[in-house]
Amino acid sequence: MLPYGKQSISDEDIQAVVETLKSDFITTGPKVNEFEDVVAKFADAKFAIAVSNGTAALHCAMFAIGIEPGDEVIVPTLTFAASANCVLYQGGTVIFADSLSESLLIDPADVEKKITDKTKAVIAVDYAGQPCDYDSLRKICDKHGLFLISDACHSIGSEYKGRKTGSIADITCFSFHPVKHITTGEGGMALTNNARFAEKMRSFRGHGITTDFRQREEKGGHFYEMVELGFNYRITDFQCALGISQLKRLPSWIKRRQEIAAKYDATFANIANITPLRTSQNISNAYHLYVIQLDDHLDRDKIFCELRKAGIGVNVHYIPVHMHPYYQKLHAEQNIEVKCDIAAEAYKHIISIPMFPTMGDKDVEEVLKIVSTATVKL
């Protein structure tokens, strides 16, 4: 089965992990800072806080901007549940926004419609690897005094109008799960240019304690204070060693993802039944996923099964979060009516086809042949 996404681990990656395992620090050591520094530099951000996963990074962001009970946060419904769950962890209320039909990114006009006097922030999700319409979102956020958070778990290495993802929103969150662009097994990072947010997130990662073990060792003291209620969201040094090693290959991996996407685009342009997502001008799309939308008359689930049977490991990203039983129940209790018609309709027609940088040209041709045939046949 050709999977829809797959990590690549080199001998050099393994060597880096082994060296760190043999060093004095396997957690809260120098590799954590080094990983933060190289990612911050790569993404043009002043501060970076490495954490145990992308969900933890989003939770850190919600804490830093002070989300608390009574606050509303606008989140696109077409995303992974974690983009919304982070709001609930802080006791906030999730208000779902609809998608734009061609890109399936959050619709700024729908965001503006859903703002109330309780709204405190917008979480923009760079769905499939394409940055959202940040100019419009920033304008709306500034007008209404809202924080703009970027869930960039799909889009490390992408660019919006020449600006690196990581430098645009008030806080940007990355994930290093194995299907993502670079991996640390599990891992995540929150980036910001705001020193106060950075300090809050650093403390939140470590139980709300103001110093970490290594800082105290260096000073030779034992004293520490817990000043806020935080979590243990630490990442280990050997994971960070893997991340540092992986990051070196990220630019070439993105180039390869873009090459594969160009081949897919060129073929699908001639197939009436299939519409790929549209990438806007002035965007460098990092293509975490390659999502196609099937025409109305095609049965997505039938095609999904056909493709799997033919060895193409397709997936569906995502069931809109507001349709999950947990959110249905929660929003019924909160008397919140969710209206996200475009995302709900898109869900019936989307399929993610294989997209990872170590796919060979033969793999790409095989995918194109099988996908094209399946959609014509049914």
Ligand X SMILES: Cc1ncc(COP(=O)(O)O)c(C=O)c1O
Among 72, 107, 151, 159, binds ligand X (CB under 6 A): 151
**Considering the complex, what minimum distance in angstroms separates the CB of residue 322 from ligand X?**
15
Least CB distance to ligand X at residue 287 (A): 14
Residue ranges in the chain assigned as alpha helix (H): 11-21, 30-43, 54-64, 82-89, 108-113, 134-144, 195-205, 213-219, 237-247, 250-268, 300-309, 325-333, 341-347, 361-377
Query: Least separation, in Å, of the C-beta of 149 and ligand X?
Result: 11
Cβ proximity to ligand X: between 54 and 276 the closer is 54
Sheet-wide strand order for 163-164? 163-164, 159-160, 283-284
Q: What is the DSSP string of 340-372?
A: -HHHHHHHTTEEEE---TT--HHHHHHHHHHHH
Q: Is 80 in the site for ligand X (CB under 6 A)?
A: yes
The enclosing H or E element of 95 equals strand 93-97
Q: Does the footprint of ligand X cover residue 54 (CB under 6 A)?
A: yes
| Greatest CA separation for the chain | 71
153 binds ligand X (CB under 6 A): yes
**Which range touches ligand X (CB under 6 A), out of 79-87, 248-256, 303-311, 340-348?**
79-87
| 79 sits near ligand X (criterion: CB under 6 A) | yes
- Judged by CB under 6 A, the stretch of 36-44, 49-57, 103-111, 224-232 that binds ligand X is 49-57
The answer to whether 349 contacts ligand X (rule: CB under 6 A) is no
Binding residue (CB under 6 A) for ligand X from 28, 53, 285, 293: 53
Sole window of 148-156, 198-206, 259-267, 361-369 interacting with ligand X (rule: CB under 6 A): 148-156
CA–CA gap between residue 31 and residue 146 (Å, rounded):
34
Q: How far apart, in whole angstroms, are the C-alpha atoms of residue 143 and residue 130?
A: 24
Whose Cβ is closer to ligand X: residue 186's or residue 306's?
186
29 binds ligand X (CB under 6 A): no
Burial 227-245 (b: 16+ CB within 10 A, else e): eeebbebbbbbbbbbbbbb
CA dist., res. 203 & res. 49, Å (int): 10
- Asked if residue 154 binds ligand X (CB under 6 A), the reply is yes
Report phi then psi at 42, rounded to 5: -60, -40
CB nearer to ligand X: give 82 or 260. Answer: 82
Task: Tell me which H or E stretch contains 188.
Answer: strand 188-192
Interaction between residue 59 and ligand X (CB under 6 A): no
Q: How far apart are the first and last CA of the chain?
A: 22
Q: In the window 354-373, what residues touch ligand X (CB under 6 A)?
A: none
Candidate list 131, 188, 320, 354; residue touching ligand X; CB under 6 A: 188
Q: CA 156, 260, 296: angle at the middle one, nearest 5?
A: 95
How far apart are CB 83 and ligand X at their closest, in Å?
Answer: 5
Q: Which of 119, 175, 184, 239 binds ligand X (CB under 6 A)?
A: 175
| Stretch of 147-155, 222-230, 336-344, 357-365 lying at the interface with ligand X (CB under 6 A) | 147-155
With CA atoms as reference, report the closest residue to 1 among 359, 319, 311: 311
Find all residues with CB under 8 Å of 300, minimum gap 6, and list them: 294, 316, 348, 349, 350, 351
In the complex with ligand X, the residue whose CB is nearer, 75 or 303, is 75
The residue within the footprint of ligand X, chosen from 62, 74, 95, 125 (CB under 6 A), is 125
Using the minimum distance from each CB to ligand X, give the nearer residue, 16 or 78: 78
Answer yes or no whether residue 205 interacts with ligand X by CB under 6 A.
Answer: no
Q: Which stretch binds ligand X (CB under 6 A): 25-33, 62-70, 74-82, 359-367?
A: 74-82
At 186, list the tokens. Answer: 């599990």
Position of minimal CB gap to ligand X:
54
Of the two residues 285 and 375, which places its CB atom closer to ligand X in the complex?
285
Q: Which residues bind ligand X (CB under 6 A)?
A: 53-55, 79-80, 82-83, 125, 151, 153-154, 175, 177, 188
